[in-house]
């Protein structure tokens, strides 16, 4: 860590600007959660899109993010160098709620491939707008004169509010679409209602970032646009590569689980209404345990705490692979374990990212680093549902329209259960192996203590 980081570790951000900054995550939480939770099911069981095509509909738009997010990151750094802030991109990103509402407003005559095309178009538009907001938003911690522990505190505020957004949208969305009797009109209503809330929260977030910058903005000298040189510099950063690789595995796993929840509730547990219960069990613990993860990180460091969270997630996933014979209370408890681990896997990597940026002397390239990071997150958000869709397709799962009853084969039921349990455990083991290669945390803690 630099001498600036050691001096600034004593700076404590006021709660007001912190709360404003964190509020922006409410809107982001809706976009992160609802498409991941309902979009695959919306395609296969409401719009009669075949599982393999539904998986591609979610995957291909996300592939574009691999290029779009670093490009947005570059624009973000140019904006910072020229204007001293990243506000214009944030305001452009506030158009995201329009794309979110359109995503579920599929015209009544469209089913199958035509409906998949509609969803894909607005998914691409939404991903681009989400990047315009998310990249400058997450670059904020690296722009501030704060140190190792205060970055964790800043992201803990963000994590609590993000969790609230995930929880509220994850509970409301299945109810608004009609619960066990979901309809197209229900999905349209859900899209409009949640879009309005997204817009309000994102605008508050823009104002909160402005207050944080006025309180503790770092003095970074203007520089020329970094372009591809800045991108390659971030990719040459060894610590960043291991951290972003582990986060790709974590993002893939969590989005896989979210995509599988409606199927697991309906076909394994026999009660579609349990989708809300499982989402609550997955997300609600984070509201309680995020302060605990903050305490644990202060005592043993972010790296050890993150490895513990990853191991807990893998263990809980294995229980879910047992399915109905384990009993509903045990399965809900296992999902709650995943939720506790999820809280750590959201807080800790995001607070380690600015550590990596500052340690590498790359604060002036924070947007580029963050663009690569958010591209990785978007890739995981695509790979997770796609991997689950492949499990369904491999088991012979039969797609249907809303209100149509289909009896799935034993092979399809096995595939959706193992895809919900064994596959997440396996991918999380990969995350652990990659995370163990990250070695910056010990030095960062030593500098903060010094």
289-295 long-range Cβ contacts below 8 angstroms, 24+ apart: 289/340, 289/343, 289/344, 290/156, 290/159, 290/160, 290/163, 290/343, 290/347, 291/156, 293/156, 293/343, 293/344, 293/347, 293/348, 294/152, 294/153, 294/156, 294/347
> Which of the 8 DSSP states describes residue 270?
S
Q: What is the pLDDT of residue 313?
A: 96
Among 104, 92, 67, 327, CA closest to 195: 104
Among 309, 333, 307, CA closest to 322: 333
Q: What is the pTM of this model?
A: 0.74
Q: Give me the residue label for tokens 């695959």.
A: 40
Among 326, 335, 330, CA closest to 285: 335
Rounded Cα distance between 36 and 50, Å, is 17
Helix (H, G, I), strand (E, B) or coil at 126: helix
Q: What is the pLDDT of residue 425?
A: 95
Q: What is the pLDDT of residue 221?
A: 44
Rounded Cα distance between 360 and 275, Å, is 43
Structure token digits, residue 79? 């904006």
Q: What is the pLDDT of residue 122?
A: 92
Q: Between the CA of residue 321 and those of 138, 417, 419, 433, what are the distances in Å?
A: 35, 6, 8, 22
94 Cβ contact partners less than 8 Å away, ≥ 6 residues apart: 133, 199, 202, 203, 206
Rounded Cα distance between 244 and 22, Å, is 23
The secondary structure element, H or E, covering residue 393 is: helix 366-395
Rounded Cα distance between 369 and 372, Å, is 5
Rounded Cα distance between 166 and 336, Å, is 15
Termini Cα distance of the chain:
10
Q: What is the pLDDT of residue 7?
A: 45
Torsion angles phi and psi, residue 217, rounded to 5: -65, 140
Q: What is the pLDDT along the chain (450 residues), one digit of tens a residue?
A: 444 444 445 577 788 888 898 899 888 889 988 887 788 888 888 888 888 898 888 777 777 777 787 788 777 777 777 776 778 889 999 999 999 999 999 988 788 899 899 999 999 899 889 989 988 888 887 777 777 778 788 888 888 888 888 888 888 888 888 866 778 889 999 999 999 999 999 999 999 888 888 876 655 544 444 555 655 666 678 888 999 999 999 999 998 988 888 888 888 888 877 888 888 888 888 778 888 998 999 889 999 999 999 999 999 999 999 988 988 899 999 999 999 999 899 889 988 888 888 776 555 667 778 888 888 888 888 788 888 888 888 888 877 765 666 777 888 888 888 988 899 999 999 999 999 999 887 655 555 555
Q: What is the pLDDT of residue 228?
A: 54
Q: What is the pLDDT of residue 196?
A: 94
Q: Give me the residue label for tokens 């894909």.
A: 120
Q: What is the pLDDT of residue 203?
A: 94
Rounded Cα distance between 440 and 30, Å, is 32
Q: What is the pLDDT of residue 201?
A: 94
Q: What is the CA radius of gyration of the chain?
A: 21
Q: What is the pLDDT of residue 230?
A: 59
- Residue 375 near residue 66, CB atoms below 8 Å: yes
Torsion angles phi and psi, residue 397, rounded to 5: -60, 135
Torsion angles phi and psi, residue 438, rounded to 5: -80, 125
Q: Give me the residue label for tokens 């204007």.
A: 83
Rounded Cα distance between 242 and 344, Å, is 18
């Amino acid at each position: 860590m630099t001498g600036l980081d050691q001096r600034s570790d004593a700076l404590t951000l006021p709660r007001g600007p912190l709360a404003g900054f964190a509020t922006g995550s409410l809107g982001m939480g809706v976009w992160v959660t609802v498409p991941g939770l309902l979009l695959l099911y919306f395609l296969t069981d409401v719009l009669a899109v075949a599982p393999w095509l539904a998986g591609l509909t979610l995957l291909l738009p996300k592939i574009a993010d691999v290029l779009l997010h670093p490009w947005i990151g570059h624009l973000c750094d140019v904006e910072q160098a020229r204007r001293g802030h990243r506000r214009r991109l944030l305001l452009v990103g506030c158009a995201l709620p329009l794309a979110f509402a359109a995503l579920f407003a599929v015209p009544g005559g469209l089913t199958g491939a035509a409906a998949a095309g509609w969803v894909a178009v607005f998914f691409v538009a939404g991903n681009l707008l989400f990047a315009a907001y998310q990249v400058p938003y997450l670059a904020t911690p690296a722009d501030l004169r704060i140190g190792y522990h205060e970055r964790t505190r800043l992201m803990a505020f963000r994590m609590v509010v993000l969790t609230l957004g995930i929880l509220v949208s994850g509970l409301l969305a299945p109810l608004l679409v009609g619960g066990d009797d979901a309809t197209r009109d229900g999905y349209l209503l859900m899209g409009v209602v949640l879009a309005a809330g997204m817009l309000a929260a994102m605008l508050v977030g823009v104002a909160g970032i402005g207050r944080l910058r006025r309180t503790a903005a770092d003095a970074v000298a203007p520089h020329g646009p970094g372009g591809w040189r800045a991108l390659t510099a971030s990719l040459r950063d060894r610590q960043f590569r291991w951290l972003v690789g582990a986060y790709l595995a974590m993002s893939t796993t969590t989005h896989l689980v979210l995509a599988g929840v409606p199927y697991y509730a309906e076909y394994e547990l026999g009660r579609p209404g349990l989708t809300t219960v499982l989402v609550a069990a997955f997300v609600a613990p984070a509201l309680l345990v995020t302060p605990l993860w903050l305490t644990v990180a202060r005592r043993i460091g972010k790296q050890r705490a993150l490895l513990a969270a990853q191991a807990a997630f893998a263990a809980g996933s294995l229980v879910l692979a047992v399915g109905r014979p384990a009993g509903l209370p045990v399965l809900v408890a296992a999902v709650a374990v995943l939720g506790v681990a999820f809280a750590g896997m959201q807080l800790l990597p995001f607070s380690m990212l600015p550590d990596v940026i500052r340690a590498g002397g790359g604060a002036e390239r924070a947007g580029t680093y963050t663009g690569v990071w958010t591209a990785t997150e978007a890739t995981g958000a695509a790979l997770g549902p796609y991997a689950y869709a492949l499990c369904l397709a491999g088991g012979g799962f039969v797609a249907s329209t809303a209100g149509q009853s289909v009896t799935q084969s034993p092979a399809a039921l096995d595939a959706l259960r193992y895809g919900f349990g064994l596959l997440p455990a396996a991918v999380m083991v990969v995350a652990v192996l990659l995370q163990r290669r990250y070695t910056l945390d010990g030095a960062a803690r030593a500098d903060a203590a010094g």
